[in-house]
Structure 1
């Protein structure tokens, strides 16, 4: 997972991109585990985490909002 320090969502939110393909059947728990183990960060720190599939033609996003995690 790499950080993209020059690319930020409005409000200065950091964005991290997981360059290794991820099984898109993973849900909140699986993706949170990837963030924790490969980056050593907490998903609740307000960052946006992006994941790609094996073909690298789709993106899955994980983001913490006030009410909890959001998955796109």
Structure 2
């Protein structure tokens, strides 16, 4: 995925998020749970309970932008650690995550056309 921005930081929120939250609700998570400034030059990545959807929030100097991705069959490889609220990713790790890879283990998803 070609990004429209080149953020200084990419934060992955480790806990699940209620995906009824939109921009304002995710800003509250960034401020209160992650204790970060949502206006900073960063992407904030969130996942739902089933781990089949993710949202990416960022400030683009004129307003907040929210990206949404849904996997059709599989789940995102979401790291787990009860002691950590969020982790810092590099751009390559974000690309792996968006492509269905584990940001640590690099296990790809395989899709096949059904009925062929």
Q: TM-score, normalised by structure 2?
A: 0.50
Shift of 1:58: 1.4
Alignment map for 1:1-72 (pairs within 5 Å)? 11=6, 13-72=8-67
Shift of 1:66: 1.8
The 3-state SS of whatever aligns with 1:31 is helix
Structure 1 residue runs of 4 or more that deviate by more than 4 Å after TM superposition: none
Residues 1:38 and 1:11: Cα distance change in structure 2 (over 3 Å)? same
CA offset digits 1:1-53 (Å, max 9, x no partner): xxxxxxxxx74520111111111110111100000111211110111000000
Q: Which has the larger radius of gyration?
A: 2
Point out where structure 1 has 5 or more consecutive residues left out of the alignment: 1-9
Q: TM-score, normalised by structure 1?
A: 0.78
Higher helix share: 1
The aligned length equals: 63
RMSD of the alignment, in Å?
1.4
Higher strand share: 1
